């Protein structure tokens, strides 16, 4: 079961070493497999794509059965229970509302000397959104990936997700695709799906950007094709850190730790508390609650191998450790949590108070649940509308602005030893001196 560790200045480094992810010997072998799949799909296109789908998913597909268009998506979505459909629709509405607040506009600034500077904001042309399948059908992930792309104005959003053993896509996933506005679903998963989106095949259209979480093969494939296409990030296993004071409810804290532990045996569940009594109570709650989970074996392995409860001297120490961990999800189960929010520097998403558990963010609150993992919240942000736009700088100098800036530009170019850069400025000054910019001889 989960370990309880007293953490102080003397053993802080040992604690951080303990919780950091162990090197994954499987990753090196997986990378070789991924490279082979990508090369094969790039070379043989559909033939390789269907081969790997049959090999890994045990489903035989062809060009006509691999694609679901909007009509087919709607037809399958109609089979979903009406209450379940309504839940997805309400969640989608909240997600769209939040992401609408992130929209950016092009802008221009005109200065007195005739300079016009600005920035054009345009959506990318096409996006491929990967949605995990397998043991979990994550309609929520489809919403979180497709909706911000549509809010950004992306016209062509396709979903890739592995089919079930019958070659079908679930009604819940189709409902999410319909509500979010996806143009099509490709029934392919794994590294082969990422390769198809990156390079295109006879049936899968090449995307400009590929987003979405997946297993280690998907993550490594995204890493491998980056540069050929844009990606959001290389996501790892899910993780949660909870700061809890002596007044926190141990049953709540244990349940929230398990909400991430049930994802994957590699998921990381960490609690940092100022109370040894609470730590013991949380451990007892974990032991009792795990028995009731349908994914108990996964959750138990996760908290045993990657979970820990740290007992620290005060909340300030807890906050420092949390910033060093830079978790994907951070819960503040403490009195007056908003007072401590300014001290949070590294976290994908922060959940404040006893009634803001992590699953609220996973499904319903509105902010994106595609978050930086593996301490990458130190430099990455949640998936957002900004991930689906590209910015173009605009520069227009008048004659007066050019003449005013020319001496500095020439000096800078000559300082760097780039004579042609300087000459590009000088030739215009000479032309102006003899003929004027309009071409008339002075």
What are the catalytic residues? 328-329
Beta strands in 189-263, from DSSP E residues, in sequence order: 209-211, 230-231, 239-244
Classify residue 226 by its DSSP letter: B
**Token pair belonging to 135:** 């043991």
Q: Smallest Cα–Cα separation from 23: which of 361, 338, 374? A: 374
Bridge partners (DSSP) listed for residue 311: 6, 273
Listing DSSP states for 10-51 in one string gives TTHHHHHHHHSPPP-HHHHHHHHHHHHHHHHHHHHTHHHHHH
Pairing of strands 156-160, 184-186: parallel
Rounded CA-CA distance 422/412 in Å is: 8
Distance between first and last Cα of the chain:
89
> Do residues 217 and 64 make contact, with C-beta atoms less than 8 angstroms apart?
no
Q: How far is CA 267 from CA 58, 377, 398, in A?
A: 27, 16, 58
Neighbours of 22 (CB within 10 A): 9
Burial of 179 (0-12, 13-18, 19+ CB in 10 A): buried
Q: Tokens 């062509």 map to which residue?
A: 156
Q: What stretches of 251-323 adopt beta strand conformation (E)? A: 268-273, 308-311
């Amino acid at each position: 079961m989960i370990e309880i560790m007293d953490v102080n200045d003397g053993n802080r480094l040992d604690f951080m070493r303990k919780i950091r992810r162990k090197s994954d010997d499987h990753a090196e072998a997986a990378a070789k497999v991924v490279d082979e799949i990508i090369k094969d799909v790039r070379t043989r296109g559909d033939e390789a794509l269907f081969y790997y789908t049959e090999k890994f998913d045990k489903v035989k597909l062809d060009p006509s059965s691999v694609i679901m268009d909007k009509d087919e998506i709607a037809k399958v979505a109609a089979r979903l229970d009406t209450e379940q459909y309504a839940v997805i629709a309400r969640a989608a509405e909240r997600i769209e509302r939040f992401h609408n607040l992130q929209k950016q506009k092009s802008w221009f600034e005109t200065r007195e000397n005739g300079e016009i500077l600005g920035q054009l904001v345009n959506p990318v042309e096409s996006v491929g959104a990967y949605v995990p399948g397998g043991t979990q059908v994550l309609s929520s992930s489809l919403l979180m990936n497709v909706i911000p792309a549509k809010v950004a104005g992306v016209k062509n959003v396709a979903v890739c997700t592995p089919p079930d053993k019958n070659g079908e896509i679930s009604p819940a996933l189709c409902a999410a695709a319909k509500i979010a506005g996806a143009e099509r679903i490709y029934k392919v998963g794994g590294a082969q799906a990422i390769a198809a989106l990156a390079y295109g095949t006879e049936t899968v259209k090449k995307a400009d950007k590929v987003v979405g979480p997946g297993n280690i093969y998907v993550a490594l494939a995204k890493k491998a094709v980056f540069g050929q296409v844009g990606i959001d990030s290389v996501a790892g296993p899910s993780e949660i850190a909870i700061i809890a004071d002596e007044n926190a409810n141990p049953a709540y804290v244990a349940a929230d730790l398990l909400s991430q532990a049930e994802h994957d045996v590699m998921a990381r569940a960490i609690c940092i508390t100022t109370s040894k009594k609470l730590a013991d109570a949380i451990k007892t709650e974990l032991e009792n609650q795990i028995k009731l989970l349908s994914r108990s074996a996964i959750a138990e392995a996760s908290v045993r191998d990657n979970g820990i409860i740290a007992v620290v001297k005060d909340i300030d120490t807890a906050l420092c450790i949390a910033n060093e961990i830079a978790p994907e999800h951070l819960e503040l189960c403490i009195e007056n949590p908003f007072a401590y929010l300014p001290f949070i520097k590294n976290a994908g998403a922060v959940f404040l108070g006893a009634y803001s558990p992590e699953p609220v963010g996973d499904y319903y609150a509105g902010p994106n649940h595609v978050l930086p993992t593996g301490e990458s919240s130190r430099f990455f942000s949640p998936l957002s509308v900004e991930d689906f736009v590209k910015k173009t700088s605009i520069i227009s100098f008048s004659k007066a602005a050019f003449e005013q800036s020319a001496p500095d530009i020439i000096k800078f170019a000559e300082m760097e030893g780039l004579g042609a850069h300087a000459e590009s400025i000088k030739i215009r000054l000479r032309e102006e001196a003899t003929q004027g910019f309009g071409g008339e001889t002075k």
